[in-house]
Amino acid sequence: MSHTRVPNIGAGTEGESEMTTTLTRPDFTAADRCDRCGAAAMVRAVLPSGSELLFCGHHARKHETRLRELSATLQGSS
Ligand SMILES: [Zn+2]
């Protein structure tokens, strides 16, 4: 196992300049559950640290004030 794979740098690095809006609608699947009660997730909260929390509509509302204090970005709320 001495073979090292050399990445082909500079050959096709596209997508880097693709600056789409940050308002993309997150796709929640059946696997995405509220961290608090296990209901289907409706809102994703992204913390400045990079960690994500998932909430159902009920708990998103309940924790919204606290999340904003933490400068979290809420996605998916309507
Ligand atoms: Zn919940």
What's the CA gap between 78 and 76, in Å, rounded? 6
pLDDT given for residue 12 in this prediction: 54
Residue 11 CA to ligand 1 centre (angstroms): 46
Residue 20 CA to ligand 1 centre (angstroms): 30
Per domain, the residue ranges of the chain are: 29-78
Would you say residue 24 has pLDDT above 80? no
Q: Does pTM surpass 0.75?
A: no
Please name the amino acid found at residue 77: S
Residue 58 CA to ligand 1 centre (angstroms): 6
Residue 24 CA to ligand 1 centre (angstroms): 22
Over residues 28-76, the pLDDT tens digits come to: 898 999 999 999 999 999 999 999 999 999 999 999 999 999 999 999 8
42, 28 in Cβ contact below 8 A?
Answer: yes
Between these two residues, 17 and 51, which has the higher pLDDT value?
Answer: 51
